[in-house]
């Protein structure tokens, strides 16, 4: 019990399955982490992410019967934003176009604060691989 309380006081979640995000992980590992977060959320959708040429993130939100049209967002031209729902307290993370703030791509929804901060970190981390060689993407 004291260990768990000590961990909380240090700011670390005691929740199982929290990802370990590092500044030396490659693009593939970062995408794996995002996909893991997308699979674990209590959303009505199953979320999947992949990088396309030109540093474009493709976001898929699927249901058993259909889903949303995949969205493609150029990471270098977008800003990651998180919002918190007033009623439920759930967090949503989106990518917003810097050129046109009305262009918003939903990245993940219905998550807690820990997962939202991890998604935000990953969205800010991934652009470092834009123009990177194949070796640095791993």
Domains and CATH numbers, the chain: 23-137 (2.30.29)
pLDDT above 70: residue 5: no
Dist CA 71 CA 56 (whole Å)? 10
**DSSP state letter for 15:** -
* Full-model pTM: 0.80
Dist CA 132 CA 108 (whole Å)? 26
Mean pLDDT of 54-79: 91
Mean pLDDT of 14-33: 81
pLDDT for the residue numbered 56: 96
Buried b or exposed e, range 48-67, using 16+ CB within 10 angstroms: bbebeeebbbebbbeeeeee
């Amino acid at each position: 019990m004291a260990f768990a309380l000590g961990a909380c006081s240090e700011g670390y979640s005691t929740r199982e399955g929290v990802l370990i995000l590092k500044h030396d992980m490659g693009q593939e590992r970062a995408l794996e982490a995002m996909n893991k977060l997308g699979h674990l959320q209590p959303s009505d959708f199953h979320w999947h992410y992949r990088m396309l040429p030109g540093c474009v993130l493709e976001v898929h939100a699927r249901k058993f019967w259909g889903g949303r049209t995949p969205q493609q967002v150029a990471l270098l031209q977008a800003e990651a934003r998180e919002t918190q729902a007033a009623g439920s307290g759930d967090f949503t993370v989106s990518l917003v176009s810097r050129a046109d703030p009305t262009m918003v791509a939903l990245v993940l929804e219905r998550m807690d604060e820990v997962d939202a901060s991890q998604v935000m970190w990953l969205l800010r981390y991934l652009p470092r691989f834009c123009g990177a060689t194949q070796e640095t993407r791993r």
